[in-house]
């Protein structure tokens, strides 16, 4: 049975292993990558401990997901990611469980939106393209079509517009997004 729990520093090494299994590829940046991110985030002002979760199978960390502080056009909300599930555990609903738990907690805490840069996977949770809302990314390395948003508060739907700015942990020393 998969258990979704709040991340704690004691799980750091295992969370990094899970993220590395999900994201590592030949040519991965050794310093600024998704698994080192989990460590950098602990020192970041954008870290929201209650919105950082892990998936456990038995006592083993097999997945990680974080919501961090973000801004769009100067308005506060959340950014999702990195989300990763250890390769051997993918396609068993663990990624979905991690996203749903984070969305539930964000709603409970009164946040109005969650943005992310990602693929088709997220539409199943209600994420939609940021394009119609004039939401852009803060870095040119990513095309706008990867930018997605989930409105937790429908009343802000047409009022959130402008550039998405992640918290500092997402940028390398040159200011490039992970």
Ligand X SMILES: CC(C)(COP(=O)(O)OP(=O)(O)OC[C@H]1O[C@@H](n2cnc3c(N)ncnc32)[C@H](O)[C@@H]1OP(=O)(O)O)[C@@H](O)C(=O)NCCC(=O)NCCS
When CB distances to ligand X are compared, the closest residue is: 95
Stretch that binds ligand X, among 89-97, 101-109, 128-136, 152-160 (CB under 6 A): 89-97
Paired with 37 in beta bridges are: none
Give the contacts of 58 (CB within 8 A, at least 6 positions apart): none
Q: Tokens for 91, please give them.
A: 């396609």
Torsion of CA 62, 64, 9, 168, to 10 degrees: 150
Report the residue number, 15 or 22, with the smaller CB distance to ligand X.
Answer: 22
Query: Would you count residue 77 as binding ligand X (CB under 6 A)?
Result: no
Give the footprint of ligand X on residues 121-140 (CB under 6 A). Answer: 121
x/- mask, ligand X, residues 16-55, rule CB under 6 A, reads: ------xx--------------------------------
Q: How far is the CB of 62 from ligand X (least distance, A)?
A: 9
Q: Contact with ligand X (CB under 6 A): which of 29, 96, 109, 140?
A: 96
Report the residue number, 48 or 94, with the smaller CB distance to ligand X.
Answer: 94
Q: Contact with ligand X (CB under 6 A): which of 7, 84, 133, 151?
A: 84
Give the binding site for ligand X (CB under 6 A). 22-23, 83-85, 90-96, 118-121
């Amino acid at each position: 049975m998969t258990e979704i729990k709040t991340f704690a520093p004691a799980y750091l090494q295992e969370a990094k292993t899970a993220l590395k299994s999900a994201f590592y590829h030949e040519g991965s940046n050794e310093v600024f990558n998704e698994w080192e991110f989990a460590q950098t985030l602990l020192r970041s002002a954008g870290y929201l401990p209650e919105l950082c979760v892990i998936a456990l199978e038995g006592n083993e960390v097999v997945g990680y997901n974080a919501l961090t502080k973000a801004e769009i056009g100067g308005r506060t909300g959340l950014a999702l990611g990195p989300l990763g599930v250890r390769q051997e555990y993918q396609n068993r609903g663990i990624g979905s469980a991690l996203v749903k738990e984070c969305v539930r907690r964000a709603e409970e805490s009164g946040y109005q939106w969650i943005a992310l840069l990602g693929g088709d996977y997220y539409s199943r949770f209600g994420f939609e393209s940021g394009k119609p809302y004039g939401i852009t990314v803060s870095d040119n390395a990513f095309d706008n079509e990867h930018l997605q948003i989930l409105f937790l508060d429908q009343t802000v739907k047409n009022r959130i517009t402008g550039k998405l700015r992640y918290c500092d942990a997402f940028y390398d020393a040159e200011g490039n997004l992970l």
